Structure 1
Amino acid sequence: MAEKEKLDLGDEKTKKSSKGIILAVVGTIVLTLAVVAGTLYFLGIFPPKEHGSSERAQAGAEGSHEEAAKASHPLVYLPLTPPFTANFKGDPEVRLIQVEITVAATDKAVLDTVTKHSPMIRNNLLLLLSSQDPAVLKTAEGKETFRGQIKESIKKVVVEQSDKTTGVDEVFFTGFVMQ
């Protein structure tokens, strides 16, 4: 009878250990799938669903054509070389400014127009640059305002010299030195 009890105890241990192994394997598989799904989510494979109000939906419907155009055509960059250099008069602290500018557009034809009419654009930007107040350009707000003025100046040339109704999408400073 003692031998029979020992055998029964051994069978229960085997059943318990096989259940533990199965639970460990299933748990490992679930954990692995969760890690893979999280990695794919953070890489952008599974974008989050947007939950928003009807105002967002209306705004999205109005701008959907513009966003679709930008999404289908990524920004193309065009550096305006050589850098723009101008002198400041009347300020003993700052006498010289050198600015490197890169323009970006989703429409390659706009950048072709910028390249074609670069002498006119460079002239306008040099006049604009030399008319700036160095004290204002030292601030971040002054630089942003100046960036907007550059964008408008380029847009004006593109619209006047081509059949385009828009100018460049963005203007970036890739170098900005005042001495």
Structure 2
Amino acid sequence: MIPVKRLTAMLLALTLPLLAMAEEAPKEGEAPKVAYVDLVPSLVGNYGSGPRLKYYKADISLRVSGPEAQEKVTRHEPLIRNQLVMLFAQQTDESLGAAESKETLRQEALKQVQQVLHSEEGQSLVDDLLFNNLIIQP
């Protein structure tokens, strides 16, 4: 026969993980948790035209809602990176130089990432795109 204290301890040990898992599930009416997907390594490449090579380096994070969206975005990261590299290669000194121009580029990058994911998954999944670091060498 098992002593009552030992039985209580065993039942408690078995129920604690279940309680922890129940707390992690989003409650009805609650917004899903925000997650960030970092595109690692940084995007590095050439941009513009002319006789002299111009370089950029961009550290980018994508804001998504929930772990399911995070997993899907991570799965399509190579396609997202390709789209962003193509977008950066089309830029000029003017489109990368001023703060307003960088904001326009950020919005265009977000739009293109959302389009790629919409064509692959049927939904855009990415809520925002952030430049953690954007360095250019004209």
The correspondence of residues 100-139 of structure 1 with structure 2, limited to 5 A, is 100-139=59-98
Query: Residue 168 of structure 1 is aligned with which of 111, 126, 133?
Result: 126
Residue of structure 2 equivalent to 1:90: 50
Amino acid at match of 1:90: G
Residue of structure 2 equivalent to 1:11: none
Q: How high is the sequence identity, in percent, across the aligned residues? A: 26
Larger Rg: 1
Segments of structure 2 that go 5 or more residues without pairing to the other structure are 1-27
Amino acid at match of 1:167: L
Residue of structure 2 equivalent to 1:81: 40
Amino acid at match of 2:65: T
Residues 154, 167 of structure 1: 8 Å contact kept: no
The Cα shift of 1:85 comes to 1.0
The Cα shift of 1:121 comes to 1.0
Residues 158, 167 of structure 1: 8 Å contact kept: yes
The correspondence of residues 2-13 of structure 1 with structure 2, limited to 5 A, is none
Query: Residue 177 of structure 1 is aligned with which of 130, 135, 138?
Result: 135
Considering fraction of residues, name the structure with more strand: 2
Residue of structure 1 equivalent to 2:24: none
Segments of structure 1 that go 5 or more residues without pairing to the other structure are 1-67
Q: Distance in 2 between matches of 1:84 and 1:136?
A: 17
Amino acid at match of 1:112: E
Deviations 1:2-37 (A, max 9, x none): xxxxxxxxxxxxxxxxxxxxxxxxxxxxxxxxxxxx
Considering fraction of residues, name the structure with more helix: 1
Residues 137, 143 of structure 1: 8 Å contact kept: yes
Q: Distance in 2 between matches of 1:134 and 1:74?
A: 38
Q: Distance in 1 between matches of 2:125 and 2:115?
A: 7
Structure having greater relative contact order (Cα 8 Å, sep ≥ 6): 2
Amino acid at match of 1:177: I
Residue of structure 2 equivalent to 1:47: none
